Amino acid sequence: MAWNDTKTGGEGKDKVLASDWNAMVAVIEAKSTVVTGAGTPTVTSSTPASIGDIYVDTSALKIYLATGTSSASDYKKVISE
């Protein structure tokens, strides 16, 4: 996911250079694992290996992000349709 504009943010907001954004995204993509399943993450489906791992619920179209590595409950919902 590359951002081609020079800066993001509007008047009075922090500005982020597109090159910095792209570098951060590349680091996250290199470290994250994407796991899919039908339904919410459960102990039987997946325990995140790393913080930042992504779980996609393909039946409910929801996305979860791992905030820990102890159990499937470390996946927190971030996006839903």
**Does residue 78 have a pLDDT over 60?**
yes
How far apart are alpha carbons 42 and 1 in whole angstroms?
29
pTM above 0.85, yes or no: no
pLDDT bin (cut points 50, 70, 90) of residue 18 is confident
How far apart are alpha carbons 25 and 68 in whole angstroms?
19
Higher pLDDT, 15 or 9: 15
Q: Which of 53, 19, 52, 17 is nearest to 36 (CA)?
A: 53
3-state SS record for 3-47? CCCCEECCCCCCCEEHHHHHHHHHHHHHHCCEEEECCCCCCCCCC
pLDDT tens digits for range 57-66 = 999 889 999 9
